[in-house]
A = this chain, B = another copy of it.
Amino acid sequence: MTLGKVIGTVWSTRKDESLVGAKFLIVQELDLEYNPKKSTVIAVDSVGAGVGEVVLVAQGSSARQTTLTKNKPVDAVIMAIVDKLDISHKENT
């Protein structure tokens, strides 16, 4: 899974009909110190995440393993909201 922060929403009227009602959130990837990384991903929300929250995103076919996304053409889902990271062994690269 990828760590990220919800920074916005994508509005779309014309989309695959299975996606009516789906909420597309823009997630900016974070490093382990919560610093923003360059990459962003657009993910369907399955846990009621709001803008500003730190989340986990699952990608690929795994993104379709929630009740909300099953059999739908989506390749990224927010499946957890992060309370905190507990890092014990970080070494410098």
Binding site for B on A (CB under 8 A): 1-3, 5-16, 18-19, 24, 26, 28, 31-32, 35-38, 40-43, 46-48, 51-52, 56, 58-66, 69, 71-77, 79-93
Chain copies in complex? 5
Rounded to whole Å, the gap between the CB of A46 and the closest CB of chain B is 6
Are B88 and A1 in contact, CB atoms less than 8 angstroms apart? no
Q: Which B residues are CB-close (under 8 A) to A8? A: 32, 85-90
Are B1 and A76 in contact, CB atoms less than 8 angstroms apart? yes
Q: Which B residues are CB-close (under 8 A) to A87? A: 7-8, 26
Which of B13, B74, B82 is close to A62, meaning CB atoms less than 8 Å apart?
Answer: B74
Closest B residue, CB atoms, query A11: B83
Are B11 and A86 in contact, CB atoms less than 8 angstroms apart? yes
Are B36 and A91 in contact, CB atoms less than 8 angstroms apart? yes
